[in-house]
């Protein structure tokens, strides 16, 4: 199928061609005609499926009918509202809206918290047809009377399950009460709980159910691997892996904000370009870091789950779980950053003996036994306990050093620490592993040049385990 068969106007077909897309993804094939037909949609789709274009393209087409070039703010009322759970996701959706709408006379604004409200107020006062917002900040603007919803024709709720996790449902209910009843509504979620079903019931009228991938399944283009390692050796192993794949951009997941900053510092001190992104950083810092990573100027981005939610980086080749997530679903979300839109991806997990339980939960959920590949010199079963204990000792000392570095703006203690480069450390030499030799990556770590024929070969549709309609208890039959 080609985009022209979906009934899109030439301005949008041009924008899609500008983006380099040759074929609509499965969710686009299903959702675009339905949304163009004016129906409400309940979409079961994860990030990476192309769902953003799936709802943005028909939304733009609807608004384009009454687009105008007038300078008067009154001629540009808010006609579409897109709600997203995080600033990063809101910004990404905004970029899609402005990218796909580049040949149309429509204005868009991105409204999120953590930054001064004044610039957003001015933008809203100038008049915008499309507002992409996080719920809390949107309500701040409602209170300030800088935004009005009387003319809203379309509402999109993106990543509803994450909205729920983040406690936004009461805010969304308040927003729903302010919107005109006569509107088109679209709800997207990767998973469907009872709460989401209730929300959908309240928000959607006779929705068309569209599901493109089984819940909690992972893209078939991703290769998974587990490297067993003791907790104290993890960062050395990470640096080792990164050093032996010098051209590869990697997103590394850690569990805590503090661990996030420390790990990025450690990598930087060892000559690997890295930065951290987590909730305690200012919006400006987060935006800059993200831009540097997306632009390829930053090689390693260390992130927590919340900060990385919805992160969309074209052709990101590899995600590394420095620590396993404690919820198996988060594994699916994390590794969904790679292997997108038909590209190959790698999901590497560094797993300590204490994390075995989480690993088995993940394997159960994704119905896959992840191959276990010991990296010589790092496998806790072959590294002698004394050596590992001594490394843990160093690692604790280093952690102390890092903490000092944090308080004192980079103390000397922290900077003295170095992991072995070319010369083997006594510990590793004792185990017979020579760092001066090039690392021989396993099949799943080897760079995978092979690409699918087009930039956007669609992810093969996966048969749903249980139909979405069954999960939703007849919602679509209203």
* Residues found near ligand AMP in the complex (CB under 6 A): 21, 23-25, 28, 47-53, 312, 314, 340-341, 455-456
Of 52 and 120, the one with the shorter C-beta distance to ligand AMP is 52
- By beta carbon distance, the residue nearest ligand AMP is 456
Of the CA atoms within 13 Å of residue 468, those in its CB half-sphere come to 27
Distance CA(223)–CA(132), nearest Å, equals 34
Of 242 and 456, the one with the shorter C-beta distance to ligand AMP is 456
- State the sign of the Cα–Cα–Cα–Cα dihedral 53, 209, 158, 221: negative
Of 235 and 346, the one with the shorter C-beta distance to ligand AMP is 346
Give residues with Cβ within 8 angstroms of 262, minimum separation 6: 399, 402, 406
Q: Are 42 and 185 in contact (CB under 8 A)?
A: no
Distance CA(355)–CA(376), nearest Å, equals 20
Q: Are 75 and 68 in contact (CB under 8 A)?
A: yes
The distance of closest approach from Cβ of residue 336 to ligand AMP in the complex, given in angstroms and rounded to an integer, is 9
| DSSP secondary structure letter of residue 90 | H
The distance of closest approach from Cβ of residue 458 to ligand AMP in the complex, given in angstroms and rounded to an integer, is 7
Q: What angle do CA 41, 28, 168 make, to 5 degrees?
A: 45
Which residue, 452, 273, 243, is CA-closest to 345? 452
Of 183 and 294, the one with the shorter C-beta distance to ligand AMP is 294
Distance CA(400)–CA(78), nearest Å, equals 52
The distance of closest approach from Cβ of residue 91 to ligand AMP in the complex, given in angstroms and rounded to an integer, is 12
Of 249 and 425, the one with the shorter C-beta distance to ligand AMP is 249
The distance of closest approach from Cβ of residue 282 to ligand AMP in the complex, given in angstroms and rounded to an integer, is 25
Which residue, 463, 458, 472, 476, is CA-closest to 50? 458
The distance of closest approach from Cβ of residue 264 to ligand AMP in the complex, given in angstroms and rounded to an integer, is 24
The distance of closest approach from Cβ of residue 314 to ligand AMP in the complex, given in angstroms and rounded to an integer, is 5
The distance of closest approach from Cβ of residue 49 to ligand AMP in the complex, given in angstroms and rounded to an integer, is 5
Of 171 and 312, the one with the shorter C-beta distance to ligand AMP is 312
Of 287 and 352, the one with the shorter C-beta distance to ligand AMP is 287
Assign residue 167 a region (left: φ > 0; alpha: ψ between -120 and 50; beta: otherwise): left
The distance of closest approach from Cβ of residue 232 to ligand AMP in the complex, given in angstroms and rounded to an integer, is 36
Distance CA(236)–CA(392), nearest Å, equals 11
Is residue 447 classed as helix, strand or coil in its secondary structure? Answer: coil
Structure tokens given for 467: 């139909």
The distance of closest approach from Cβ of residue 328 to ligand AMP in the complex, given in angstroms and rounded to an integer, is 21
Of 261 and 345, the one with the shorter C-beta distance to ligand AMP is 345
> Residue 466 to residues 41, 46, 192, 211: CA-CA distances in angstroms?
18, 16, 12, 11
Of 99 and 441, the one with the shorter C-beta distance to ligand AMP is 99
């Amino acid at each position: 199928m080609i985009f022209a068969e979906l009934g899109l106007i030439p301005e949008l077909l041009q924008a899609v061609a500008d983006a380099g897309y040759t074929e609509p993804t499965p969710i686009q094939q299903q959702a675009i005609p339905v949304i163009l037909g004016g129906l409400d949609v309940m979409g079961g789709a994860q990030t990476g499926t192309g769902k953003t274009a799936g709802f943005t393209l028909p939304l733009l087409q609807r608004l384009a009918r009454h687009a105008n070039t007038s300078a008067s703010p009154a001629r540009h009322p808010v006609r579409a509202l897109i709600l997203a759970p995080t600033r990063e996701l809101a910004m990404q959706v905004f970029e899609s809206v402005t990218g796909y709408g580049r040949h149309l006379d429509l204005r868009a604004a991105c409204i999120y918290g953590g930054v001064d409200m004044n610039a957003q107020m001015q933008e809203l006062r100038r008049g915008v047809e499309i507002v992409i917002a996080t719920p809390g900040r949107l309500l701040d603007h409602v209170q300030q009377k800088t935004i009005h919803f009387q003319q809203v024709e379309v509402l999109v709720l993106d990543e509803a399950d994450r909205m729920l996790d983040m406690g936004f449902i009461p805010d969304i209910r308040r927003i729903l009460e302010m919107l005109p009843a006569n509107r088109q509504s679209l709800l997207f979620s990767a998973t469907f709980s009872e709460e989401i079903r209730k929300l959908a019931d309240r928000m959607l009228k006779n929705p068309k159910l569209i599901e493109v991938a089984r819940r909690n399944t992972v893209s078939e283009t991703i290769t998974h691997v587990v490297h067993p390692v003791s907790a104290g050796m993890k960062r050395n192993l990470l640096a080792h892996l990164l050093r032996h794949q010098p051209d590869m951009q990697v997103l590394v997941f850690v569990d805590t904000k503090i661990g996030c900053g420390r790990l990025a510092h450690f990598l930087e001190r060892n000559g690997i370009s890295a930065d951290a992104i987590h909730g305690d950083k200012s919006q400006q810092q987060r935006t800059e870091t993200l831009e540097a990573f997306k632009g390829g100027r930053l090689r390693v981005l260390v992130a927590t789950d919340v900060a990385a939610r919805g992160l969309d980086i074209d052709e990101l080749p590899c995600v590394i779980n420095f620590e396993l997530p404690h919820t198996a679903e988060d594994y699916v979300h994390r590794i969904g950053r790679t292997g997108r839109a038909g590209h190959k991806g790698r999901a590497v997990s560094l797993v300590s003996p204490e994390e075995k339980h989480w690993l088995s939960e993940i394997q159960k959920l994704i119905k896959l036994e992840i191959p276990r590949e010991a990296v010589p010199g790092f496998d806790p079963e072959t590294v002698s306990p004394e050596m590992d204990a001594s490394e843990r000792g160093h690692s604790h000392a280093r952690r102390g050093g890092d903490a000092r570095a944090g308080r004192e703006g980079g103390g000397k203690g922290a900077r003295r620490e170095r992991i072995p480069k070319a010369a083997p450390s006594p510990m590793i030499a004792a185990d017979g592993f020579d760092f001066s030799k090039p690392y021989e990556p396993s099949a799943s770590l080897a760079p995978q040049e092979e690409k699918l024929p087009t930039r956007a070969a669609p992810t093969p549709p996966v048969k749903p385990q249980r139909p979405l309609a069954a999960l939703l208890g007849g919602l679509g039959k209203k």
